[in-house]
Structure 1
């Protein structure tokens, strides 16, 4: 294995596919920070008012998150259903507790629920026991709402050095807080804890780019996503298998002026014989079957 070939020689995805494409839908709405949740501050990450220091409700921001549940989620579901494409849903457990209809939709599609924590909170400032309890609470809640125990985990940005070991001890297959490559890898521990797969994610192709400065328009995001797909597929054809992640949010791509870009992207990729569009669980399981921990 070389610096230009992250995949082992001879590795391929099912049916000889060269590129594995992971569609990731983040569900955070209803689990964000807010005074009504008992938090000392409101959620600062929003398309409307941000950085407000005063301890006062921001009703507009609350309703902007709710839009993701009310209208964004149905649009994304329609797009996925029309394209016949599977997705992994990185869900904050509390969000699904408040929107059981969405948990049912995820289950009925046969999609994968990935734990995004019980709430959309940092765990970096928790001690090991508190973080482990936070992870377990999310796991139990997602099992209750979707009928499936999650095997993958995505943090909210900041987590502790010991999170991956905690996940492995709790039976998780993979962790996706990693942006270091376009192919999975194993992470092992020296105390007998089972190894865990690090399944890289991506922020550059994430629809959060609509909010971050310099921000993308829908046209720019679509062009970037298609160019990412094309480049990775070209590399995979000549250098070895690759993986692409496309991250979405209900309240962002689910807007009427943006959802079209996601639909166009799905049409662009969905019928390619050399591309495997799969859940992250399926990608991780295939990797684990063919690449053993060192």
Structure 2
């Protein structure tokens, strides 16, 4: 997999979004609860990143970290679904296979509302961890099957934690996936061989609430998202419409105070509805597929 530092260079494509929108926006909610590393689930270690860094010794069950994650499905998910219904937006859910296998009714309720189920790996781990193509393929297909069984929808998009492996995109193409989102290198979709890449981003993302140099109060996240919207809308109106990703997590922005950021972002998008197309990632990918020549 060759690193590309050039991309489109100084000649980006002029994509056309539906209705003449100057910007496409993808709202993503990560559905990872129950798929984090946990001794409770038979994993050799516990996930250490949460509201605080875990202090539980290696190899012992971490009830505290389990509770931090469980809050996402127990309390946060309902807030998200109600808000999306109220604002009339459709989003993409990055779903880990083990998570939806453990809470299939909740996962099904998300997709029954018209949202998209995308593959977020079997567990919440980087696919760069895989040392063989066969091992990764088995995990990919296990997650694919679990998501389809739980939601009734076969995923066509993929994004794993951290980084893909050298084989990930080949495997996705081989198994009929429409797009891969393991890319942080552009504001525009592009082709990598036979695979359409829909870049994702970590800056406009509620994980920044867990970072010491990130968001502290909800207004900071809203202000940051609005700045990104307005900058990209201006660029779109000058002739180069782009894609903005906004990433959310059930256990992070599902908390009451931080959910004020979700409400603020949804209101900001509604205020710009004449200039913004808010869509599921599968719809964005299908829309641009015919506009971009295969690389």
What CA distance in whole angstroms lies between the structure 2 residues aligned with 1:289 and 1:273? 24
Which string of whole-angstrom CA distances, capped at 9 and with x for unpartnered residues, describes residues 108-133 of structure 1? 11111000011112222321000011
Q: Which runs of 5+ in 1 are unaligned?
A: 189-194
Match of 2:13 among 7, 14, 17: 7
1:53 Cα deviation from its structure 2 partner: 4.4
Partner Cα distance (2:179, 2:24) in 1: 16
2:138 maps to which residue? 133
Query: Hey, what's the Cα distance between the residues in 2 that align with 1:63 and 1:244?
Result: 32
- State how 1:136-175 maps to structure 2 within 5 Å: 136-175=141-180
Contact 2:73/2:250 (8 A) holds in 1: yes
* Alpha-carbon distance, 1:2 to partner: 6.0
Residue in structure 2 matched with residue 80 of structure 1 by the alignment: 84
**Partner residue, 2:290:** 289
Question: CA separation in 2, counterparts of 1:233 and 1:147?
Answer: 35
> Aligned equivalents of 1:139 and 1:206: distance in 2?
25
Cα deviations by residue, 1:221-271 (Å, 9 ceiling, x for unpaired): 111111111111111111411100000000001100111111111111125
Deviations 1:149-187 (Å, cap 9, x if unpaired)? 100000111321111111110111111011111110011
Shift of 1:51: 6.0
Measured after TM superposition, the shift of residue 58 of structure 1 is 1.3
Residues 1-294 of structure 1 mapped to structure 2, 5 A cutoff? 3-4=9-10, 6-8=12-14, 11-50=15-54, 52-126=56-130, 127-188=132-193, 195-217=194-216, 218-270=218-270, 272-294=273-295
Q: What secondary structure does 1:80 align onto?
A: helix
Tell me, in whole angstroms, the C-alpha distance in 1 between the residues paired with 2:162 and 2:57.
Answer: 21
Partners of 2:69 and 2:144 in 1: how far apart?
Answer: 23
TM-score, length of structure 1 as denominator length: 0.93
Q: Distance in 2 between matches of 1:4 and 1:265?
A: 31
* SS in structure 2 of the partner of residue 24 of structure 1: strand
List structure 1 segments (4+ residues) > 6 angstroms apart after TM superposition: none
- The aligned residue for residue 191 of structure 1 is none
The aligned residue for residue 3 of structure 2 is: none
What is the SS of the residue equivalent to 2:127?
A: coil
Distance (Å, rounded) in 2 between the aligned partners of 1:136 and 1:2: 33
Partner Cα separation in structure 1 for residue 144 and residue 122 of structure 2: 8
Partner of 1:117: helix, strand, or coil?
Answer: coil
Looking at structure 2, the residues matched to 209 and 97 of structure 1 have their Cα atoms a distance apart, in angstroms, of 28
Q: Is the 8 A contact 1:122 1:159 kept in 2?
A: yes
Q: How large is the RMSD of aligned CA atoms in angstroms? A: 1.5
TM-score, structure 2 as length reference: 0.93
Q: 1:288 to 1:260 in 2, by over 3 A?
A: same
SS in 2 for 1:186: strand
Give the Cα–Cα distance (whole angstroms) in 1 for the partners of residues 51 and 12 of structure 2.
Answer: 37
Partner residue in 1 for 2:4: none
